[in-house]
Chains A and B, each alone.
Chain A
């Protein structure tokens, strides 16, 4: 096999002169023709920067300060803009994380497909269009003859991601960079996209760099895996070897994240803390919840699981009183709650708290940690002066952050995991009985997410909290939930104890959902596709 890409000692630096930070500290990568290399790491590991650099491209403010990027003998680190422009799209193509954001909303899919072949002169318009339709068909897009003539907003996310892979294939490049192409997709959609990508890459013997933070995904796609951390390579090995026997401690810790398990608990106390009967809710004319009835046992974690659009976040809004239901009632400790939070009394408001998915936007960036926590404490408990200070310190201890270090920091000065901890502390400030956690770990790296989950479990044991945990991630559900509620298109499909749902799912949708969760087994994708096809 001949070498297609040979990156040697690549250094990337960002930021203004003086305050420069190093993104890559001398990275070495090689890729043979037709080979797929998986690039794995947590956010900030430099894997996306490395993928873009393999195209000779750096984002604004980032510069190549050392090393070489040999693509078929051409050093992209020193190539002229004209050379790069000629290679991009023709010999090296890119598939971005969010296809919805990376397709130009102003042009039809097929026009965007044809742009590269026409500019690079590899095909005339009619031939390019015919090729687009053929590739759409190979990518198993529905209605391949017509779909290209639609605008991006008229096509679903999973379809867009396949259309983008087809677009990358337009000039039959030697190398494609896939930058987390399925991260934004639901699990059942992810399978279709993964399968289609792998088929087309194999068919045209295209080499690829597949960037992801999801080990199970990369093990389906890659021949070889490189693990990265803080801009350095940790280790590289053939996929099977890497899965079976990782050498480095960091790799092992990544592999071990999925071992978290909630403590065994006794049966719930009598009577649910909160229940819902026949809840219907809609945004404008679009009905999102259609008759949802549900009971949340006291002191336990109920996971609400579903794909995007299933209505799980809407359910949280109804409970919190942000979106009054058009029908049905929420019952809190035996008495019905008003639909709007404005009409609820302060004790109820205090006992129902929320933690949000995006701690970045859920916390006011102009406030310090102290300001963020003092306000709800004052508001709900009326503490002032020294007692207030003591309570804030206590909250910080609860979330395992040192008050002396963090209290006077501004929110943007915290890491993602620290912000989410502050989000939890803000909910705890009200001394609630019930916390709604809306996808609280989905924006976090696996190791950080695990820390948050451990914290939530500990707080539950210490404070006797009841959680409603909204998530699309079944691994998280397995780790922390007592009860599981599966939702699809605004309805509850199945409810049950966690162990029962996982061992003996009843509805077809639950079965499909469980089967779709990528497993750390290189043969999983083939197996599940065969099963789903039959």
Chain B
């Protein structure tokens, strides 16, 4: 399938270019912030001489574009440098946080994606029924509340009142897998409630849209049961929009959860990024930002490729 490979290759190339552009934008963004790391660490009372020496030590006296190119050259070889604030390698800082973030994202996704698609299919099957309406009201209600509010409601009821789950999701290497699941249940549930509505609504809309097609009527007139019509005849033709929404929500679960992390004191990447921006810790911001951008791009490219593969016209040439 050369045309398909060409398509996939061009998407990947575009993704790489986007990643490069994002890294440059982030660098410019940090440059535009008032103050710098030296000022931040040494404080207002530092003499100009000490500031200058400290800057020279960190390499901050170099022109901006040279610093960017240096960083880029090193990053291309997998070296993201040391944190300016803590002097520890960025890779070390990131690794535990990254694992935590991925754990929480996977935890939420493994539950949210199948549940959302199943609810979407069921509400398409029983369109305009009581079930359909209540699922929609529930999902829209959950998405309409700010995520910190959902989080506090869950803490209030499931933790403070009922005492089923811990308020703070502190996890460390010592915790067993089951223990980690238990301790991070509330943040995961918050995220599930936030992302389900979007995916469920899109599944429902995409399937209902396909239900108007003549081949659906044909399937019914062949005596195919309703549920099978939805799963076998409608869903395969509704996959492209569903895949795209799932990808967007997965990206959100990895990238956009800083508020939930803060509420539950969960040691994820989001908190690390916020701290690094506050202290103008450029290497950490760059590395985390690049990872976030990479996540978005990878998931979107993946969604693109999967939607292409879900189309038999592109999979099987004439």
Q: Which residues of A contact B (CB under 8 A)?
A: 55, 57, 59, 84-90, 93-94, 96, 98, 101-107, 115-116, 119-120, 150-151, 153-154, 167
Contact = CB atoms under 8 A, between A and B. Distances in A.
Nearest to A52: B221
B64 interface: no
Given A98-B214, A102-B215, A85 B316 contact: no
Interface residues of B, number: 20
Interface string B153-194: 000000000000000000000000000000000000000000
A151 B316 contact: yes
Interface string B193-235: 0000000000000000000011101111111110010000100
Nearest to B239: A106
Given A104-B237, A153-B312, A154-B318, A115 B214 contact: no
Interface of B: 213-215, 217-225, 228, 233, 236-237, 312-313, 316, 318
Contacts of B228: 119
B221 A85 contact: no
Given A104-B219, A106-B237, A96 B214 contact: yes
Contact of A57 (B214, B221, B225, B237): B221
A86 B225 CA distance: 10
Contacts of B224: 85, 89, 115-116, 119
Contact of A102 (B214, B225, B236, B318): B214
A98 B217 CA distance: 12
B223 A88 contact: yes
B222 A106 contact: no
A55 B224 CA distance: 14
A94 B216 CA distance: 13
A93 to B, nearest CB: 7
Contacts of B222: 88-89, 93-94, 115-116, 119, 167
- Residue among B219, B220, B221 with max Cβ neighbours from chain A (10 Å): B221
Contacts of A84: 223
A93 B218 CA distance: 9
Contacts of A86: 223
18 contacts: A55-B221, A57-B221, A88-B223, A94-B221, A96-B218, A98-B214, A101-B214, A102-B215, A103-B218, A104-B218, A104-B236, A105-B215, A105-B312, A106-B312, A115-B222, A116-B224, A153-B312, A154-B318
A14 B218 CA distance: 21
Contact of B223 (A89, A102, A104, A107): A89
A153 B221 contact: no
Nearest to A155: B318
Contacts of A90: 223
Contacts of B215: 101-105
Contacts of B218: 94, 96, 102-104
B220 A116 contact: no
B313 A153 contact: yes
A87 B224 CA distance: 11
Nearest to B315: A151
Residue among B214, B217, B223, B318 with the most chain A CB within 10 A? Answer: B223
A116 B313 contact: no
Residue among B218, B222, B236, B313 with the highest chain A CB neighbour number at 10 A: B222
A150 B220 CA distance: 22
Contacts of A59: 217
B313 A85 contact: no
A151 B318 CA distance: 9
Residue of A94, A101, A104, A116 most packed against chain B (CB within 10 A): A104
A89 to B, nearest CB: 4
Given A57-B220, A106-B237, A106-B312, A85 B225 contact: yes
Nearest to A55: B221
A94 B221 CA distance: 7
B223 A116 contact: yes
